[in-house]
Chain A
Amino acid sequence: MREPMSLRWTRRVVLVVLGIFTLVPIYIMITSSLKPLKDVQGTFTWWPSTVTFQPFREMWKTIPLAHYFVNSLVVSTASSIASVVIALLAAYSLSRYRFRGRQAFSVTVLSTQMFPGILFLLPLFVIFVNISKVIGINLYGSRLGLTITFMTFTLPFAIWMLTGYLDSIPRALDEAAMVDGAGPLGALFRVVVPAAIPGIVAVAIYAFMTAWGEVLFASVMTDQSTRTLAVGLRGYVTQNDVYWNQIMAASLTVSIPIVAAFLLLQRFMVSGMTAGAVK
């Protein structure tokens, strides 16, 4: 099938324009991270006056970047895994059973993910403080607390998405497993989970990415030992200078693992996110 010439040219022009829009900020991030400090503080230049890796060395000293990195990794991974596990159980229940209260629960989940985090910030804080006073588990300022906090946005989304995904997996699969003598949980883990891998991966990536970038809760609910990258990077804006080159170097460094993971797993992301709508 031959494409008309006009279509081919439209495509080229539009894609080039979109490509520029997409890539300019990324280009700036990369080149600025290779500039000496005076370059990023003076008039903008498209290319560094001298290419230097100094920012990549100094960025570890200006703030405890490695420490923040570990915190982000731990908290994002934990909230991502916890959300997926809990959501998987809930989604299986919602998808495979009809029971009283099911609809009420679904509606609640759908509504809660609509609410902005700012709504929960102070109340959650007050509740955490009181939990630690009553049962002695320290949630405020701890990684556990931050993990739970992040689940305010990762969990409902995970339940919603996974329910949609499990709905797209034919019930015949688990029924066959049950005929073979598996219980409902056996069917879930032996048949449904393997079939739902794309959905699970998609939800996990999504949860991880949002947790990785969260700023609001992380700025109130952390202290020095539990600070995450998203908040910690502000440390480059100090009283005496703004180290734009180090900010760019650090932004780039902390982006690479996420971008790599995302690009590797994006096909799961697509099928996972759209399974509910497309089959």
Chain B
Amino acid sequence: MVETLTATPVRHDTKNGKAAAKPPRRKRQLLPYLLLVPAILLELLIHIGPMIVGVIISFYHLTQLYLANWRHAPAAGLDNYRVALNVNGAAGKALLHSFTVTLTYTVLVLGFSWLLGMTAAVLTQRAFRGRAIVRTLFLLPFALPIFASVITWNFMGQRDTGVINHVLVDQLHTQTTRPFWLIGPNSFPMLVAVTIWRTWPFAFLIISAGLQSIPDELYEAATLDGAGVMAQIRRVTLPLLAPVNRVLFVVLFLWTFNDFTTPYTLFGDTPPVQADLISLHIYTTSFTTWNFGTGSAMSVVLLLFLLLVTGIYLIVTNRRSDNA
């Protein structure tokens, strides 16, 4: 059976509440905290601590002048935030641009990865000869280490020696001049394509698993009602896949929005403006220009945005589970 169950610990709260209401003995109540101790210590060290330090740095003019004794960096007040958020200034405009690029990138990658994953999952749902091989092949891009596959794409996108132009120009003659794929306007679709190539197999994997848990009787019932393939997908598959999709989208969002490895491996530390993703943008702004205060302020702004996203996600999932 498919249950609309518990993608997150928070929703789980409402669901298993009854079981927990059974009064546990006092002594036991220490145990849950003890079990959390290692996780809490590490969270403090690797997340909470750095976050606080990051927020502190964002209020200082931390440049190369103060790196050796950063304790003496002059206070900046809100200067760094003014620089980062002033969309009329050069830095603010670039940050906003990068943010827009990243959002577009995320939406496209999520949308296409889901669409391809869904299509492939539906088409391989029923057994046919060679199905196992097809599924394995489809999973390969996800299994490859990111840097290995992105380097390959970089090689493929070379203007004079890459396979993309070889096919488009030399073999199909669709273009008269050889287009560029790693600089200029084409770099963005290139980046999106590379990421989709890498992530759609994951969508395929998860959706396939979700489909397997939908009982055949539901489809049979729908067929008896005279529903065609598309109608079955609309009325049976999609509603029952909703919880799976929710998890899928959260995971894909995390991977895509914060992606650093893909653009960095594809473009190096000077990404084309058209494909200037935010992680790499902040890296360039703060590391290669020795301007850590501004970099930290940008990070904090990004953090606030992501907190907002998390909050919306929690509210939405909580409301759904209340309705369930």
Contacts and interface: CB of A to CB of B under 8 A. Distances in A.
Direct A–B contact in the complex, CB atoms closer than 8 angstroms: yes
Interface of A: 3, 7, 10-11, 14-15, 18-19, 21-26, 28-29, 32, 40-44, 86-87, 89-90, 92-99, 101-103, 105-124, 126-127, 148-149, 151-152, 155-157, 159-160, 163-164, 167-168, 171, 184, 209, 212-216, 229-230, 233, 244, 247-248, 251-252, 254-255, 258-259, 262-263, 266, 269-271, 273-274, 276-279
B110 interface: no
B47 interface: yes
B260 A44 contact: no
Which of A97, A109, A114, A151 lies at the interface centre, i.e. has the most chain B CB atoms within 10 A of its CB? A114
A116 B47 contact: no
A159 B243 CA distance: 19
B295 to A, nearest CB: 7
B38 A22 contact: no
B267 interface: no
Given A15-B120, A97-B20, A274-B247, A116 B260 contact: yes
A250 B203 CA distance: 28
Nearest to A113: B254
B273 interface: no
B9 A164 contact: yes
Nearest to B52: A123
A216 B264 contact: yes
A3 to B, nearest CB: 7
Interface string B135-147: 0111111111111
B-side binding surface: helix, strand, loop or mixed? helix
B75 interface: no
Contact of A117 (B33, B247, B258, B295): B258
Contact of A279 (B1, B149, B170, B286): B1
Which of B46, B153, B314 lies at the interface centre, i.e. has the most chain A CB atoms within 10 A of its CB? B46
Which of A89, A108, A111, A274 lies at the interface centre, i.e. has the most chain B CB atoms within 10 A of its CB? A274
Interface in B281-318: 282-283, 286, 292, 295-296, 299, 302-303, 306-307, 309-310, 314
Interface stretch (B23-31, B79-87, B88-96, B183-191): B23-31
Contact of A269 (B17, B33, B205): B205
Contacts of A156: 43, 47
Interface of B: 1-3, 5-10, 12-13, 15-17, 19-21, 24, 28-29, 31-33, 35-36, 38-40, 42-43, 45-54, 57, 70, 116, 119-120, 123-124, 126, 128, 134, 136-149, 151-153, 155-156, 160-163, 165-166, 170, 197, 201, 205-206, 208-210, 213, 229, 243-244, 246-247, 251, 254, 257-258, 260-261, 264-265, 278-279, 282-283, 286, 292, 295-296, 299, 302-303, 306-307, 309-310, 314
Given A106-B10, A114-B309, A258-B143, A22 B138 contact: yes
A276 B42 contact: no
10 contacts: A11-B128, A44-B161, A98-B20, A116-B302, A120-B51, A171-B19, A209-B143, A215-B147, A230-B146, A266-B205
Contact of A278 (B2, B8, B24): B2
A32 B155 contact: yes
B5 A127 contact: no
A160 B46 contact: no
A274 B254 contact: no
A40 B50 CA distance: 44
A247 B145 CA distance: 13
A163 B282 CA distance: 33
Contacts of B162: 44
A40 B156 CA distance: 11
Contacts of B153: 25
A127 B50 contact: yes
A95 to B, nearest CB: 7
B32 A97 contact: yes
B54 to A, nearest CB: 4
B155 A105 contact: no
A119 B7 contact: no
Contacts of B147: 213, 215, 229-230, 233, 251
A-side binding surface: helix, strand, loop or mixed? helix
Contact of B152 (A3, A28, A94, A270): A28
A111 B302 CA distance: 12
B298 to A, nearest CB: 9
Contacts of A149: 46
Contact of B3 (A87, A96, A233, A279): A279
Given A21-B197, A44-B161, A164-B8, A116 B279 contact: yes
Given A25-B141, A105-B40, A184-B28, A118 B151 contact: no
Report the 7 A-B pairs with minimum CB-CB distance, sorted nearest first.
A123-B50, A116-B258, A251-B148, A123-B53, A93-B35, A98-B20, A97-B32
A92 B137 CA distance: 36
A119 to B, nearest CB: 4
Which of A41, A94, A101 lies at the interface centre, i.e. has the most chain B CB atoms within 10 A of its CB? A94
A179 to B, nearest CB: 14
A121 B298 CA distance: 13
B3 to A, nearest CB: 5
A244 B244 CA distance: 40
A90 B40 CA distance: 9
A224 B318 CA distance: 48
Given A21-B197, A87-B39, A209-B143, 20 more contacts: A18-B138, A29-B152, A43-B166, A86-B39, A89-B39, A98-B21, A105-B36, A112-B47, A119-B54, A123-B53, A148-B45, A184-B28, A230-B145, A230-B261, A248-B151, A248-B152, A251-B148, A254-B148, A276-B6, A278-B2
